[in-house]
Amino acid sequence: MDDAAELGAKVFVFWGGREGVETDAPKSALDSIKHTRDALNFFCEYVIDNGYDLKLALEPKPNEPRGDLYFPTVGSMLALIATLDHPERVGVNPEVAHEHMAGLNFMHAVAQAWDAGKLFHIDLNDQLFGRYDQDFRFGAVMIKQAFHLVKFLEDVGYSGSRHFDAHAYRTADTADVKAFAKGCMRTYLILKEKAAQFNADAEIQALLAEIHADSGDQADVLGRYSREAAAKLKAINYDRAALAKRSLPYERLDQLTVELLLGVR
């Protein structure tokens, strides 16, 4: 932390999960949670006491590789942060591969972190579900997920670091490692262009407008609770057949997304 502050870093990625827990026999889970909280509170006080302009970004991961890690997902880490003494100093560093190891939708996790004001940093790479840490080149295996992630980051105007935490294939020589690093950046930028294309595509936007069409007839029961709103909600007679007739062309929209990614639009 001293070095990070001296070098002018604003975000300290806290990778605290090396090795993980291989057996639950020796220790209390509640103690382990408490020790982690105490340590993070200690570090935050150290940063404040030294006047450092430094925030912590916690990086969750489910297992490493055979041991279990506490706070295994972005959602779990966000819940921990809310219990700290200085939650404003602490956010998350979500990593594609880590959420994919748990079979989760990474973009949803990133969106929740963003919504909470906690997306301090991000680790981009790629990973199939159900495997240990693969750390592939960004966009190497799950293009559609990578596209929706990039689209989210660009649409909301994420201005933090786009950090690639990935590893080239074991066969790579120096030139191939450079191609790997370039590939991570190229794929991000290509998907950024695809996101702009998605947002400008008239047919795609027309389908979205159709999907989001809202007569406004239930506006007074949406939003905050009131006794009146609850009474109105209970009094609505939903016509199942009429609701089912409404067109929801998700298949057409998704196919257009795939065609856009395949370069035929």
Task: Report how far residue 106's alpha carbon sits from residue 111's, in angstroms, rounded to the nearest whole number.
Answer: 9
Shortest reach from residue 228's CB to Mn ion, in Å: 49
Q: Which is nearer to Mn ion, 183 or 204 (CB)?
A: 183
CB of 68 to Mn ion, least distance (A): 18
**Residue 59 Cβ vs Mn ion, minimum distance, rounded to whole Å:** 5
Nearer CB in complex with Mn ion: 180/198 = 180
- Tell me the closest approach of the beta carbon of residue 123 to Mn ion, in angstroms: 4
Of the candidates 82, 5, 88, the residue with the CA atom closest to the CA atom of residue 47: 5
Nearest to Mn ion of 72, 204 (CB atom): 72
- Other C-beta atoms lying within 10 Å of the C-beta of residue 209: 9
Q: Give yes or no for a contact between 113 and 144, defined as CB atoms under 8 angstroms apart.
A: no
Give me the phi and psi of 58, to 5 degrees please. Answer: -80, 135
Please report how close the Cβ of residue 126 comes to Mn ion at its closest, in angstroms.
Answer: 12
Residue placing its CB nearer to Mn ion in the complex, 99 or 123: 123
**Please, which residue, 81 or 92, has the CB nearer to Mn ion?**
92
Strands (E), the chain: 11-14, 55-58, 90-92, 123-124, 163-164
Report helix angle 174-200 to 250-261, nearest 10.
140
Interacting residues toward Mn ion by CB under 5 A = 95, 123, 165
